[in-house]
Amino acid sequence: MSASEIREVRVELGERSYSVRIGPGILDGIGEAVRTLCPAPNAAVVTDSNVGPLYADQALASLRQAGYEAHCVTVPAGDGSKSLDQAAKLYDAMAAARIERRSPLIALGGGMVGDLTGFVAATWLRGVPFVQCSTTIEANVDAATGGKTAVNHPAGKNLVGAFYQPRLVVMDTSTLDTLEDRDFRAGLAESVKHGAIRDTAFFAWHESHVEPILAHEPAALADLLERNVQIKAAVVAADEREAGLRAILNFGHTIGHAVESLMHYEWRHGECVAVGMVAVARLAVRRGLMADADAERMTTLLRAFGLPTEIPARLAAEDIVRLTKMDKKVAAGRVRFVLVPRFGETVLRDDITDADIRTAVEEVRAAS
């Protein structure tokens, strides 16, 4: 497969179907691509204070070239901008830019910008066309495809949101070169997750491509993103609103979210998912629901990507147990755990006891 070709994955959702395009430099063609789907006099790009200075001019130039009156709104970088306050400011900007029913709202950035912009697109005028130009591994592998949009609430992350699918997703792989190494690696946790839950060959592909992936080799990156989008698209197409299958995407997230909260969001989401997957793998091994060798393979792979595989010693197991019960995916008071009995397969279990969680956490907690 050539590195420079544009890869295209379709997300099949009936009348809400859309394409995900992956390739180097494709942000230059955003204007034409959007024009075909959303003819309107004007368009707005929403970006953050890190991504805007790097890529907003490129996106705006392409949109103007395609005939749009293009506006740009920049929010401060960081998950703190995923708020109702920031959404309100964006509504003001939409009004000032006279964004109307057909005008596209284009998210240019990582998962934060995508979730916030998607939420505003879902609610402004009861819905305007939404386009994702995702610029992080986390967003490309996970957030940009699937239509979950949200802002945070003081009571918890992502509590105010909507299912709202984009019309188009554009992943310009060249933008990944400016991503901080820590963010780049963190996003790889979700890729390992996709391999673990859906595709054993893809899991093994990671093991044999650690170096080219970490070296940002274009062909390896394109392969990685394409396969992840295919996996996410298939799960979302089967269960758009998380009535069933989509829950498997939460593998590693129940304990991961608890760690994320106890670390006061100082760790990247993917880092928390990495330790969450290791912990739940240990739990599964103890319950006879996963082979010890597979749990070890997963730990070794995450470590090779420079991801944490131990829960910091200062986090109490009791606090993690308590927080797993507050996960928004708790059904009727029971925490549902996604387990991977074999790579590529999942089982959902709601018979995991506090003692199981405590033991698993103790097992993967750093010594000091």
Ligand X SMILES: NC(=O)c1ccc[n+]([C@@H]2O[C@H](COP(=O)([O-])OP(=O)(O)OC[C@H]3O[C@@H](n4cnc5c(N)ncnc54)[C@H](O)[C@@H]3O)[C@@H](O)[C@H]2O)c1
Q: Is the dihedral of CA 223, 227, 232, 237 positive or negative?
A: positive
Nearer to ligand X, 109 or 252 (CB): 109
Q: Whole-angstrom Cα distance, residue 219 to residue 207? A: 16
Binding flag, residue 188, ligand X (CB under 6 A): no
Residue of 190, 226, 260, 271 marked active site: 190
Choices 8-16, 76-84, 194-202, 273-281; region in contact with ligand X by CB under 6 A: 76-84
The answer to whether residue 362 is catalytic is no
Q: How many CB atoms lie within 10 A of CB 304?
A: 16
Binding flag, residue 248, ligand X (CB under 6 A): no
Among 11, 51, 120, 360, interactor with ligand X by CB under 6 A = 51
Closest alpha carbon to 255 in 195, 198, 322:
322
Residue of 206, 269, 282, 365 marked active site: 269
Q: How far is the CB of 317 from ligand X (least distance, A)?
A: 25
Q: Whole-angstrom Cα distance, residue 29 to residue 61? A: 10
Q: Whole-angstrom Cα distance, residue 258 to residue 262? A: 6
Q: Whole-angstrom Cα distance, residue 81 to residue 96? A: 20
From residue 115, alpha-carbon distances to 79, 334, 367 in Å are: 10, 28, 37
The answer to whether residue 193 is catalytic is no
Choices 103-111, 255-263, 296-304, 310-318; region in contact with ligand X by CB under 6 A: 103-111
Binding flag, residue 242, ligand X (CB under 6 A): no
Positions in 118-177 near ligand X (CB under 6 A): 135-136, 138-139, 142-143, 146, 148, 158, 175-176
Binding flag, residue 46, ligand X (CB under 6 A): no
Rounded to 5°, the CA angle 282-286-290 comes to 70
Q: What is the DSSP string of 97-165?
A: TT--TT--EEEEESHHHHHHHHHHHHHGGG---EEEEE-SHHIIIIITSS-EEEEEETTEEEEEEEE--
Nearer to ligand X, 167 or 269 (CB): 269
Q: How far is the CB of 102 from ligand X (least distance, A)?
A: 24
Binding flag, residue 109, ligand X (CB under 6 A): yes
Contact 5, 154 (CB under 8 A): no
Q: Whole-angstrom Cα distance, residue 43 to residue 127? A: 14
Binding flag, residue 274, ligand X (CB under 6 A): no
Binding flag, residue 77, ligand X (CB under 6 A): yes
E strands, the chain, are: 7-11, 18-23, 42-48, 69-75, 105-109, 130-134, 148-153, 156-163, 168-172, 337-339, 347-349
Positions in 203-232 near ligand X (CB under 6 A): none
The answer to whether residue 190 is catalytic is yes
Residue of 89, 157, 216, 246 marked active site: 246
* Binding-site size, ligand X (CB under 6 A): 28
Nearer to ligand X, 24 or 110 (CB): 110
Q: How far is the CB of 9 from ligand X (least distance, A)?
A: 16
Residue of 140, 194, 250, 282 marked active site: 250
Residues with catalytic function: 126, 148, 190, 232, 242, 246, 250, 253, 257, 269
Q: Which residues of the shown chain bind ligand X in the complex (CB under 6 A)? A: 48, 50-51, 54, 77, 79, 82, 109-113, 115, 135-136, 138-139, 142-143, 146, 148, 158, 175-176, 178-179, 183, 269
